[in-house]
Structure 1
Amino acid sequence: MEVAFDGSWLQKRSQLSPAKVAIIDGETGEQWNYKKLYNRTLIMADRLCQLGINQGDRVALLSPNDPSYFELLFACQAAGAIFVPLNWRLSEKELIYIMKDCEAKCVFVHPDYKEFVKNFPCETFPLEAQTDQESISAEISLGDSCTHAAIIYTGGTTGKPKGVILSHQNIASNAINTIISWGLSERDITLTCLPMFHTGGLNALSTPLLMAGGTVVIMRDFQKDKVIDLLNLYQCTVVLMVPTMYHMLIEQPDFIKESFPSMKTFLSGGAPCPLEVYEAFYKKGKLFKEGYGLTEAGPNNFYIDPTEAYGKKGSVGKPMMFNEVKIVRKNNVEAEPNEVGEIFLKGPHVFTGYWSNQEETEKVKCEGWLRTGDLGRKDEDGYYYIVGRAKDLIISGGENVYPTEVEQTISQHIAVKEVSVVGIPHPKWGEAVLAVVSLKSPASEKELTTFCSQRLGKYKVPKRFVFVKEIPKTAVGKIDKKLLMERYREIFLYEKERL
């Protein structure tokens, strides 16, 4: 699928739907229609030009979720610059590394983070309130659809963060594929509560809905007690959250009595979702489904009809209209139905490469396909399931243990609030299964071991359960397995004497 644009699709949308509400600031209630969004984009693009930003320069943004993300993203397109959203949860040292790595020309800083800028290696500018000008005098060149649009840095869970280059073509292709495959329209309204420095907050639903002429409500940061209020206040129809957010949502006292009258679909992504979340929405008669993606591809790749999702719990569905998927075993052999292998993706939404890192790019590109590093399987009906990260696979006594399967089992116990399963070095088995659990009511290690033994093969049953108040999360709300593996790395070494 080739997509070519003569100019900015936002300009076209502003002509088609000038008075339609495009963005609502959930913090202040301020609303921008498409005409205002486009005008503000041109004003910001003019400001970039006045600051000496040239074609290909990297322009960073350090801000909580805010309408300025779209303002600067589209302004960079108009000015031919490259947008670099920064993870505001990182340390100063980590932020400086990213700005040096991408050689940022400047960074725009939200007032909340003005104290961060003292040691930044580039020029810093405050985000300023704009007057609502009708037009600007400067001539603004429009970005080419084949040029770089953004660099989004990965979390760096396996080393230094890598800058994922997304072209205008990548972002537009993902948006079009999502609109067509998921059936989005100008009548849809979403609440963006995932961080917008992450592809899930920026590209999963927000950009596709703007292209479709819908409305994006921006939540400054995730607050479990405000989500229900905002979904109802603005009559949202679709929302994307990660499993940890859904955990907090369904535990809210107001969740039990809430009917979510306007909501059509609740969507989960970022990690396999516990089955209890499906049950919570099924009991309400509300549609709930899972998706799968990554910064390097999309992030949208699959579609499942929400009416089928409960019968196929845990499935992300089938490939969307304009991308391809395959499951590959060792030696590049395509897997048979229900065989586990690595997920390979192909399509115009797949990233250009890692910024200044050809070696890492070549590791994940394979004859036109993207090697995701994630494990999955496809059933006899063609529905795909995510098994987990290849690096998270546990090999215990020569047997493969997939953490997601064990986590899904443990999470069904009535006392379990949240669980993460990791492989820890073991003097006898090579690796052993460790379950880190937070509880919502009392339960013992013996009780959970018995529960698992009745449902899992012996080698899959955790050798130990560790109970914690809260399981640590990454900046985007995913469970931080790397931290857990480091924290409990030596837990089994002391058992050597008892073997």
Structure 2
Amino acid sequence: MDALKISHAATEFRDRPFLVADDLVWTFAEACSRALGAQQALSSMGASSGRGIAFEAKASPSTIVTVLAALEAGIPFAPLHPKWTRDEAARALSLLPDPIHVDPELLARKEAASSAVAPTHHSGPESLAARLFTSGTSAAPKVVELPRRAFVASARAHTENLPFVDGDRWLLAMPLSHVGGLSIVTRALGSGTAIVLRPSFDVDDTLATIASCRVTLASFVPAMLPKLLSSDGDGRLRSLRAVLVGGAAFPAEIRRASAEAGVPALATYGLTETCSQIATQRLLDARDPSSLDSGTPLHGVEARIDTTSSDGLGRIFVRGDMVMLGYLGHPTIDHGGWLDTGDVGSFDERGRLVVVGRADDTIVTGGENVHPADVERDLAACEGVVEVAVFGVPDPVWGQVVAAALVLAPGFDPEHLLRSAARALSSFKRPRRFIVVDRIATSPNGKVSRRALADSLAARLRPMSYGADDK
């Protein structure tokens, strides 16, 4: 059985619900019929395993059908972020090798008019399935080429850690242009799980959908959870079997708030290059409000830390079937070879992965290396801190100094707060510049670009002194 083909899934799960979107409910059989029609339409447009497609990945049933049709036919597909400007989309398309630009809504009309008789196609595990764009928070986006084996291995690893049960329904409010959103679709194909699709993330809509559509699983980025928790007066989040939290660092204060509210929020760690999560906490971990790890490496994942310091921190390397083929236009990665994630972390005494941050985010101040996430963790633990982002700025004496952007609750003094946090920080880790802002800007997928913050805020930063305690 090809775990990425809707035709195979429909044979096993024929009358189970596959897609729920507002008043629309498709069974696996109905989704298969539409996908086969779309496959026929794509073939008539010249799409093939040798010539892929690209499309704006709006959160719509027609986009889901386009993904299913491409997977069925072995056509490489590149989903474009729906929030990109026209120029951003054009730049992304220029990176791809002669793609056919498809409108999923028009394709849906073509599939409705087709005979829905599509040729069978065999795709091997190394066949290219998707081309996804990295977030580009520290550099220009790259095109990640993911083979079919990566999606299959990722789904299998997830299931080993969090087995599906009958009646599971997974809320899809993440962009389908990101591997986190796309993987919800590919996991459903192999497990018979229903997808509950929402057009975008909205707090009230999400909470109402969880109740009305009997959602059991959800994926969120960390920034979504505080908004949901503060509006969840009826405890609807507690009804979920699990909430996977990824795409950015999962701050300690949000973990605590989730645990205190009884929400089974599981920290995950993964990359586009590894086809989603490669380490995830287990359900019991959600009860520990003090945990800072991302769980143990999942089934089929090998991970190692190339330690360069006495504290056990080092670059994270991984290998396994879920690792990409490589970046488009760059040498491929040997199957089974090690991938440098570009992240820094360590294993704790229980063998769980603790991710500190990006290696290229490291601040070098007076010869000392400072990982921004370390400083953010201590600042975020202070009462009154709503959000925090730490980054490096140039300094004529120290090379760089630590700077912090703070979102504070009303009535809190930033200098008093920083002095309080300084007790837990080595002198070289203490912020020497700061600014209070209304919000911290993020990329469309919820990630903070420290470089962009440094560039935009440098001229407005205020100096910070710790007086006699600064030793």
Q: Fold-level match, TM-score > 0.5?
A: yes
Q: 1:78 to 1:170 in 2, by over 3 A?
A: same
- 1:131 and 1:110 mapped to 2: Cα distance? 12
Structure 2 residue corresponding to 1:320, chosen from 298, 322, 325: 298
Matched, 1:447 2:416: yes
Give the Cα separation in 2 of the matches to 1:190 and 1:461: 42
**C-alpha separation between the residues in 2 aligned to 1:151 and 1:484?**
29
Q: Distance in 2 between matches of 1:6 and 1:284?
A: 40
Distance 1:366 1:454 in 2: 47
Shift of 1:66: 1.7
SS of the equivalent of 1:405 reads: helix
2:233 and 2:416 map into 1 onto residues whose CA distance is 28
Which residue of 2 is the match for residue 121 of structure 1? Answer: none
Q: Distance between the aligned counterparts of 1:83 and 1:329, measured in 2?
A: 37
Per the alignment, residue 115 of structure 1 pairs with none
- Counterpart of 1:316 in 2: which secondary structure? coil
SS in 2 for 1:292: strand
Distance in 2, matches of 1:437 and 1:322, equals 40
Residue 227 of structure 1: CA displacement?
A: 1.4
Equivalent AA in structure 2 for residue 19 of structure 1: D
- Aligned partner of 2:58 in structure 1 is 64
Q: Name which of 48, 57, 61 aligns with 2:42.
A: 48
Matched, 1:243 2:237: no
Aligned mates of 1:78, 1:13 — CA distance in 2:
11
Q: Which residue of 2 aligns with 1:120?
A: none
Q: Distance in 1 between matches of 2:392 and 2:335?
A: 28
Any idea what SS the aligned residue of 1:230 has?
Answer: helix
Is 1:56–1:81's contact at 8 Å kept on the other side of the alignment? Answer: yes
- 1:389 partner amino acid: R
Q: Pick closer, same or farther for the CA change 1:144–1:367 going to 2, 3 Å.
A: closer
- Specify whether residues 259 and 191 from structure 1 end up closer, same or farther in structure 2 by C-alpha distance, changes over 3 A only: closer
Decide whether the 8 Å contact of 1:244 with 1:478 is kept in 2.
Answer: no
Match of 2:179 among 192, 199, 212: 199
User: Pick from 125, 139, 154: which aligns with 1:159?
Assistant: 139
Q: 1:345 aligns with which of 303, 318, 327?
A: 318
Of 370-379 and 215-224, deviating more is 215-224
Residue 14 (str. 1) matches residue 10 (str. 2): yes
2:210 paired residue among 226, 231, 246:
231
User: Residues 210 and 186 of structure 1: is their aligned pair in 2 closer, same or farther, counting only changes over 3 Å?
Assistant: farther
**What SS does the corresponding residue of 2:18 show, helix, strand or coil?**
strand
Give the equivalent residue in structure 2 for 1:103: 97
Partner-residue secondary structure (3-state), 1:381 = coil
Distance change in 2, residues 1:6/1:261 (3 Å):
closer
1:76 aligns with 2:70: yes
Q: Are positions 1:410 and 2:379 aligned together?
A: yes
Per the alignment, residue 378 of structure 1 pairs with 347
Give, as a single letter, the amino acid of the residue that structure 2 aligns with 1:328.
D
**For residues 444-490 of structure 1, what are the alpha-carbon distances to aligned partners after superposition, in whole Å with 9 as ceiling and x for unaligned?**
22122122123222222211221111111101122232310211345
2:369 to 400, 405, 428: 400
2:315 and 2:359 in contact (8 A); partners too: yes
**Alpha-carbon deviation of 1:93?**
2.0
- Decide whether the 8 Å contact of 2:175 with 2:181 is kept in 1: yes
What's the counterpart of residue 168 of structure 1? Answer: 148
Q: Confirm or deny: 8 A CA contact 2:144 2:328 kept in the other structure.
A: yes
1:204-228: CA deviation from partner (whole Å, max 9, x where unpaired) = x342133211111112111122211
Say how many residue pairs are matched.
463
Give matches, 1:299-318, under 5 Å. Answer: 299-311=276-288, 313-318=291-296
Shift of 1:6: 5.5
Letter in 2 for 1:347: G
Q: 1:209 to 1:80 in 2, by over 3 A?
A: closer
Q: Which runs of 5+ in 1 are unaligned?
A: 112-124
Instruction: Spell out the pairing of 1:258-297 with structure 2 (5 A cutoff).
Output: 258-260=235-237, 262-297=239-274
Q: TM-score, normalised by structure 2?
A: 0.91
On the 8 A contact 1:185/1:209 being kept in 2, the answer is: no
Partner letter of residue 308 of structure 1? D
Q: d(CA) in 2 for partners of 1:110 and 1:206? A: 16
Equivalent AA in structure 1 for residue 294 of structure 2 = V
Counterpart Cα distance in 1 of 2:100 and 2:75: 11
Supply the AA of the counterpart residue of 1:431. Answer: Q
- Give the direction of change, closer, same or farther, for the CA distance of 1:328–1:13 in structure 2 (3 Å limit): same
Higher mean alpha-carbon deviation, 399-408 vs 365-374, is at 365-374
- Provide the residue aligned with 1:355 in structure 2: 328
- Return 166-175 or 61-70, whichever deviates more: 61-70
The answer to whether the Cα contact below 8 Å between 1:56 and 1:80 also exists between their aligned partners in 2 is no
Residues 434 and 461, structure 2, Cα contact 8 Å, conserved in 1: no
For the 8 Å contact 2:316–2:344, the answer to whether it is kept is: yes
Change (3 A) 1:431 1:367: farther
Once residues 303 and 455 of structure 1 are traced to their aligned partners in structure 2, the CA distance between those partners, rounded to angstroms, is 28
Equivalent of 2:126, from 146, 160, 168? Answer: 146
**Larger mean Cα displacement after TM superposition, 294-303 or 437-446:** 437-446
Q: What do you get for the CA RMSD once the two structures are aligned?
A: 2.5
Q: TM-score, length-normalised on structure 1?
A: 0.86
Going from structure 1 to structure 2, the CA distance change for 1:465 and 1:250 (only over 3 Å counts) comes to farther
